[in-house]
A and B are shown apart, each in its own frame.
Chain A
Amino acid sequence: MKVLVTVKPVADPNTPPAAWIAAQQGKPTGEVNHVANYFDLIAVEQAIRLKDVGVDDICIVSITGDDKMAQVRSAIAMGANRAILIDPEGKALEWHQIAAALKHVVEQEQPAFVLMGKQATDDDASQVGSILAGMLGWPQATFVSEMEFNADRTRVKVGRETDEGVEVLDVKLPAVITCDLRLNEPRYATLPNLIKSKKAPLERFKFSELGIAADPQVTVEGFALPAGRSGECRMVKDADELVGVLKEMKLV
């Protein structure tokens, strides 16, 4: 079984917000380190674990510039077979364009299913998986934390994390599946595997070659820092004083 796994390099979640904003606005800043989106690493890990049920070709797909190659490499080194890279040619692509580019790869590769992260931790959008599924006319299962295939691998039973508990769906393949935190704990890429990953086959496209509308549907107009909270934290010394303060604030 062939599986496509999407990987987005994102800013390290510990980046100070002002530095992140500056980088988003194209200002040179040395402060922003990138990592592979954590939810995507869960997707890679899942693909590797599915070797038991017949997954033998794991292809990483990333739409990113060469400067983020190290982050993609770290995902390949976890145990993927190969990768497809799409160069955005310096453009900030929005979700619909990313999904359209992924659709192009899916049509070329015809995988048994696509595994993705449930959201990118920079944009916090959680959009690309559902858009892609809709574009392909495929079933979707988002926020998945359990997967169990049927005997002939034509369907997968998934547990989805929802506001109302775990929802179990029985989904026909091919499908788009997005991964939630509890699905697994991603392994680290070992140094030997990192070195080996440099030999993994790599196919490259340019976004402009794919025939996707160049005009974004959504553009970023600006950034702001959220208003801080009230300010100083009022420190109390013991439970008695705490109860007193809560009563004074009419909270209990």
Chain B
Amino acid sequence: MKILVVAEMQLGKLKPSNGAAVRFAQDLAAKTGGSFDIVLIGHGLADLAAGLNKYGAGALHVIDAPRFENYLPGSFCAAVVGLVQAEGYTAVIGGEATTSRDIFPRIAGALGAGMCKGVSAIVDAGGGVAYQRAVFSGMALRTERIHTPIHVLTVDPTAVGEPAEGPAGAVKAFAAPGGDDDSVKFVERRRAESGRPDLAVAERVVGAGRGIKSADYLETIGTLADKLGAAIGSTRAVVDAGWLPNEFQVGQTGKAIAPKLYLAIGISGAVQHSAGIRGAKTIVAINKDPEAPIFKIADVGIVADLFDVVPKLIEKI
């Protein structure tokens, strides 16, 4: 297959999920006897482009114009579709994240191509390939086969490893079709700065659930997180209560994470939350209810009052 990886940016930096997309492209190229290129879209990209051009891609396309300063689905979709058609790509791959979730189905629709979202593995299927992905809150895996000439895929970063390094490819500027368009305008971004590691890729995550009782206790949770060098994650219950903003939510409808250590504090372990921590290496649960479902997926557990245990952990770690 002739593969195009669509790299994503996050607040002016390359997004960690790009690594999984490149790795999946490398594997798919090896399996189908193909090759892969990468495209980066934005404005003022010269420095970032270099950081992407170390994985053995044939080419690194750069689409750089003032109108791509902020991500917007319509214009970014038109740019990718224009490049796919100009170069004749047969697969378009991105890392699973909120931007790819927004734009990839639109790209697939515009190309008349079938799409699989959040794929975790390539499966041999009668001479061709099929893709495995988690469905139903991660409680089942499903193998899906795409029948169109072009395959559109987003890749689950918690299921796919790091890309191999390789020589730099030719850097090519691509003049994307389309012009200024006022149908969607970027207004602003509201974001809480924590100074802690990025939840999506942190090696350690302290997860806070409704058991912490109030937003006030987040200060103590933060102290523990800082002792561990951890990011803070949370459940929907905590986000709904307004104790933390939405980008902290882990689970089926939040982020999927795969840290080495997930410390679940006062979290019941509902399927929708568990869906997001399936990839964690070690799950440690602190919950006063011995029947809490979190203990079914935890590796280490303690049945105790978190208000008693957490201060002791802070003291002893």
Chain A residues with a Cβ under 8 A of chain B: 11, 13-14, 17, 20-21, 94-96, 99, 118-119, 121-135, 139-143, 145, 157, 159-172, 180-182, 215-226, 229-230, 233-243, 245-246, 249, 251-252
| Complex contact A126–B110 (CB within 8 A) | no
| Complex contact B300–A218 (CB within 8 A) | no
Q: From residue B73, how far is it (CB to closest CB) to chain A in Å?
A: 5
| Complex contact B74–A234 (CB within 8 A) | no
With contacts A130-B103, A166-B245, A170-B187 known, is A226 near B283, CB below 8 A?
Answer: no
| Complex contact B182–A131 (CB within 8 A) | no
| Complex contact B142–A142 (CB within 8 A) | no
Which chain A residues border B185 with CB–CB below 8 Å? 169-171
Contact mask B265-280 → A, CB, 8 Å, 1/0?
0000001100000100
Most chain B C-beta atoms within 10 Å of own C-beta, residue among A140, A180, A223: A140
| Complex contact B200–A163 (CB within 8 A) | yes
Which chain A residues border B192 with CB–CB below 8 Å? 165
| Complex contact A219–B144 (CB within 8 A) | yes
With contacts A163-B98, A170-B184 known, is A96 near B114, CB below 8 A?
Answer: yes
Query: How many Å lie between the Cα of A172 and that of B112 in the bound state?
Result: 25
| Complex contact A162–B146 (CB within 8 A) | no
Closest to B133 in A: A124
| Complex contact A252–B117 (CB within 8 A) | no
Query: How many Å lie between the Cα of A17 and that of B146 in the bound state?
Result: 24
| Complex contact A126–B101 (CB within 8 A) | yes
Q: From residue B199, how far is it (CB to closest CB) to chain A in Å?
A: 9
Q: How large is the interface on B (under 10, 10 to 19, 20 to 34, 35 or more residues)?
A: 35 or more
With contacts A222-B143, A233-B296 known, is A169 near B10, CB below 8 A?
Answer: no
Name 15 interchain pairs, CB-CB below 8 A, sorted by A.
A13-B136, A17-B139, A17-B140, A125-B117, A139-B184, A145-B246, A165-B189, A180-B246, A220-B143, A221-B130, A221-B145, A233-B298, A236-B302, A238-B304, A249-B282
Which chain A residues border B186 with CB–CB below 8 Å? 167-169
| Complex contact A226–B295 (CB within 8 A) | no
With contacts A140-B106, A215-B147, A224-B140 known, is A165 near B228, CB below 8 A?
Answer: no
Q: From residue A129, how far is it (CB to closest CB) to chain B in Å?
A: 8
Which chain B residues border A164 with CB–CB below 8 Å? 10-11, 98, 189, 191, 247
Q: From residue B94, how far is it (CB to closest CB) to chain A in Å?
A: 13
Query: How many Å lie between the Cα of A118 and that of B102 in the bound state?
Result: 10
| Complex contact A130–B109 (CB within 8 A) | yes
Q: From residue A82, how far is it (CB to closest CB) to chain B in Å?
A: 27
Contact mask B112-134 → A, CB, 8 Å, 1/0?
11111110000101000010101
Query: How many Å lie between the Cα of A252 and that of B282 in the bound state?
Result: 12
Q: Is B176 an interface residue (CB 8 A)?
A: no
| Complex contact B77–A161 (CB within 8 A) | no
Most chain A C-beta atoms within 10 Å of own C-beta, residue among B115, B123, B295: B115
Query: How many Å lie between the Cα of A139 and that of B186 in the bound state?
Result: 13
